[in-house]
């Protein structure tokens, strides 16, 4: 009889761990997707550039001074100086026409191409940057694609809201699954809980071993989930080597910490509330 009960408890714990690990596996992949989506969003925003056209005849020393000031600015990720000759070569490679030979001179101005940081790649910030750059005496004109940047930010916001809504929905479903699984585990031990109450055990005394077991199950489930997650990542990177450039060691540590924390917190909370219910039940209600 005792062996049968012990075997049943072990089976229940195994089912709980497997259920939690599968939920954490899905949540972990979602967390990785969100982390990568944030990086992709920043990279996309930082493709937005601002072209600063300079007055003809601006001295090299003044250009170098301006570029140095820009590099030190808080909104600048990187800058690139494009001379008149370089601009002409770029245009000729696109149009395939010798416009310098036709005109007899190079009409294109020198410029500094600025890649702005992601936090400044929005309409308001770029308008303020344009106004600020226009005050430099070397600057003739500041140009950036306003409509493209506006459309890019609108699309990124839509994608962010969709992912956020899906994440919240998945988290609620996961919480429900974990809570139901642990409630079934505690339900199978409701008579043991009530027996301990009848012999005088206090609620903290009864709750303590269940809570520790819940935390332990959460840790084991998190470890299993992480093994599955990193297995999927390894398989994906072996098929698509470029994916390895998206994540670094800090990303993996963040992911592991998130999964472990979720495993502990969700298991602890679900165990606590399930115990709370059965600790308040009357003996007559245990059979319903």
Highest mean pLDDT among 64-68, 91-95, 235-239: 64-68
Q: Provide the 10 A C-beta neighbour count for residue 176.
A: 12
Q: How confident is the model at residue 222 (pLDDT cuts 50, 70, 90)?
A: very high
CATH code where residue 115 lies? 3.30.70.3040
Same domain as 28, residue 100? no
Backbone angles phi and psi of 107, in degrees to 5? -85, -5
H-type alpha helices, the chain: 2-45, 60-71, 84-95, 99-103, 123-134, 146-187, 190-198, 203-239, 249-280
72-127 tens-digit pLDDT: 888 898 898 888 778 777 766 666 666 566 666 666 788 889 888 888 888 888 88
pLDDT category, 278, cuts 50, 70, 90?
Answer: low
Does residue 251 share a domain with residue 237?
Answer: yes
Q: Is the pLDDT of residue 201 over 90?
A: no
Give the chain's domain count.
2
Q: Are residues 55 and 135 in the same domain?
A: yes
Is residue 223 located within the same domain as residue 283? yes
Q: What is the mean pLDDT of residues 28-47?
A: 81
Mean pLDDT of 3-27: 70
Same domain, 31 and 124: no
Q: Are residues 67 and 191 in the same domain?
A: no
Average pLDDT of the chain, as a whole number = 79
**Mean pLDDT on 169-180:** 76
Closest CA to 81 of 56, 60, 100, 107: 60
Please provide residue 240's backbone torsions phi and psi, each rounded to the nearest 5 degrees: -130, 85
Same domain, residue pair 214 and 279: yes
Dihedral, CA of residue 25, residue 16, residue 173 and residue 286, to nearest 10: -170
Q: Indicate whether 180 and 277 sit together in one domain.
A: yes
Asked if 134 and 158 sit in the same domain, the reply is no
Give the residue numbers spanning the domain of 55: 49-144
pLDDT-above-70 percentage for the chain: 82
pTM: 0.65
Looking at the structure, tell me whether residues 186 and 255 fall in a common domain. yes
Q: How many CB atoms lie under 10 A from the CB of residue 182?
A: 28
Cα 25 from Cα 10, distance rounded (Å): 22
pLDDT > 90? residue 227: yes
Which of 125, 144, 163 finishes a domain? 144
Which residue, of 114, 144, 174, is where some domain finishes? 144
Rg, the chain, Cα only: 31
Integer Cα distance of 114 and 71 in angstroms: 9
For residues 198 and 136, which has the higher predicted lDDT (pLDDT)? 136
Identify which has the larger pLDDT, 13 or 228.
228
Asked whether residue 183 falls in the same domain as residue 276, the answer is: yes
Please check whether residues 161 and 21 belong to one and the same domain: yes
From 94, 117, 144, give the residue that closes a domain.
144
- The reported pLDDT for the residue numbered 234 is 84
Residue 211 pLDDT greater than 70, yes or no: yes
């Amino acid at each position: 009889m005792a062996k049968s009960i012990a075997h049943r408890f072990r089976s229940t714990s195994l089912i709980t761990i497997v259920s939690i690990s599968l939920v954490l596996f899905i949540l972990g992949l979602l967390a990785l997707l969100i982390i990568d989506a944030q990086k992709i969003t920043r990279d996309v925003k930082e493709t937005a550039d601002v072209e600063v056209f300079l007055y003809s005849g601006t001295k090299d020393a003044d250009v170098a001074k301006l570029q140095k000031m820009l590099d030190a600015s808080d909104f600048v990720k990187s800058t690139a100086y494009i001379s008149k000759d370089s601009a002409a070569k770029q245009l000729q490679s696109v149009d395939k026409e010798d416009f310098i030979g036709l005109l007899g001179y190079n009409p294109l101005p020198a410029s500094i191409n600025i890649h702005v940081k992601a936090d400044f790649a929005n309409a308001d910030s770029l308008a303020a940057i344009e106004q600020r750059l226009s005050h430099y005496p070397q600057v003739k004109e500041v140009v950036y694609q306003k409509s493209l940047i506006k459309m890019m930010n609108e699309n990124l916001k839509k994608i962010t809201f969709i992912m956020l809504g899906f994440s919240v929905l998945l988290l609620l479903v996961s919480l429900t699954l974990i809570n139901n699984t642990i409630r079934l585990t505690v339900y199978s031990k409701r008579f043991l809980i009530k027996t301990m109450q009848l012999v005088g055990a206090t609620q903290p005394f009864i709750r303590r071993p269940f809570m520790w077991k819940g935390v332990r199950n959460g840790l084991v489930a998190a470890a299993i989930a992480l093994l599955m997650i990193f297995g999927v990542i390894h398989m994906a990177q072996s098929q698509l080597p470029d994916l390895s450039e998206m994540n670094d060691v800090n990303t993996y540590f963040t992911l592991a910490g998130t999964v472990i924390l979720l495993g502990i917190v969700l298991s602890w909370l679900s165990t606590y509330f399930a115990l709370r219910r059965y600790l308040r039940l009357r003996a007559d209600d245990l059979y319903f």
